[in-house]
Structure 1
Amino acid sequence: MPDGSTITYYEDVEALKRELVLGFRAMALNNLGLGLLAHLTARMPGADTYWTYQIGQSVEEVRLSDLRECTFDAKPVDGKSPINPSIACHGDVYRARPDVTCILHHHSKASIAMGAIGANLQPYDRNSGRWHGEIGIVEDFDAPEIHNQGGSMVEAMGHGKALILKHHGVLVTGRNVRDAVVAAAELDRAMEVQLMAMAAGDLHLMPQEEIDDCKKFLASDMFADGTWNWYMRVAERQGLLAGVDD
């Protein structure tokens, strides 16, 4: 874990649920997951369950009343809520990685393009250098519940923070909700810039000492918290926080 960062095991379930809803709205702010198939989950403190939303909504629509608790096998605790079955891989990650308390998956254009060419992110600047050694790549030809790929995803990710799914977008983990959402947005921008640079010419990479230096701040709680607070201010101005507590 980088210097200046801590794992958040939420003790107040209601606070966790509200931050999760705000996480969905922050995804919308960053154009991550618009449509029905992106997902965001947060580990339930002291239990083998997590919270998520019901399938059929886009991220900007999620309210507190829409959240449902699921087992690590992606079964709704209430036994009836319609949950996206592809979140089953989240349970595999939570089982294997006690340091992970939030998982985000989306299918942005940049993440799909990176997976389509089998490319990993390269350390060409500080924002991309923060991810050096933190991203795995795994084959993912279809939904994990069809091909039982949760185990292979865990193996490919190892102790890293993110996973590029060939043909299927990206999976990002976090030590809390805000860390996962901020990291996902930063990663998406870094992938988009790399694709633009690759189209223009050869990438010129940073030296290792600069990579190590940029990780200290860009992977820290200070950066995640500050960026999250900025997201909330912008989302409020844009009306994206309306209905959160409904």
Structure 2
Amino acid sequence: MPELPEVEVSRLGISPHLLEQTIQEIVVRQRQLRWWIPEEIHGLHGQPITAIRRRAKYLLLDTPKGTAIVHLGMSGSLRVLENPPPAEKHDHVDLVLSNGKVMRYNDPRRFGAWLWCAPGESHELLDNCGPEPLTDEFNADWMLSRANNKRVAIKTFIMNNANVVGVGNIYACESLFSAGILPTTPTYKVTLGQWQTLVTEIKQVLAQAITQGGTTLKDFSQTDGKPGYFAQELHVYGRAKQPCHSCGEPIKEMKIGQRNTFFCDVCQK
């Protein structure tokens, strides 16, 4: 599914076209996504978009009347179109803007979401989220305090949104490789020095992925239709049995928390 860098790339891609534009119409063709699209979404009609934010893997479209919360799910994507062609089967939502453009939400698997949050309120999906990984609030001291006496595998721990948001499967594998830490390491064994290294690597890997346009997945492409390019830089993810770029030994694969996990048992200890 699109991970944090892909969602951030989508935010950056749509922002120049949507920010400060008025929503002239919202067209909902399919209300049954992961959750039923609430009727309040139609309150966007006639509202100016005052901000476009990201929290974890959610996009937030702010208006004076409330906030639309958009999640891309497993296969969702956003396109900003001029003179849009007729909607196809999986084009579920359109925002028609005052500049004549249309933001179109496409989601073949319908695991994404369009939700609503009234002004001054919070949404339960965002209430228990940890710090954003690219902020100062995400640091080694914070993670060490959260990790106290926990025996869960370090990969599972850093993918838990209560600890830090948006470190999905691809970037967890890549960050642990860069930090030289085995993904099966019990969290309580990770030292402050290792946390300092891992936090730094998570920030660098995510920032690089955003800069390069997100990871290329078969279900993801950018708002301009071009795929991301970070997949060309992957060291371990999806490379089972291929030689490690550092030591030449075959990359290993196993399941951790029902997720495919890739690592080098020579470079990672």
TM-score, normalised with respect to structure 2: 0.30
The structure with more radius of gyration = 2
Q: Which has the higher contact order (CA 8 A, sep 6+)?
A: 1
Determine which structure has the larger strand proportion and give its number.
2
Determine which structure has the larger helix proportion and give its number.
1
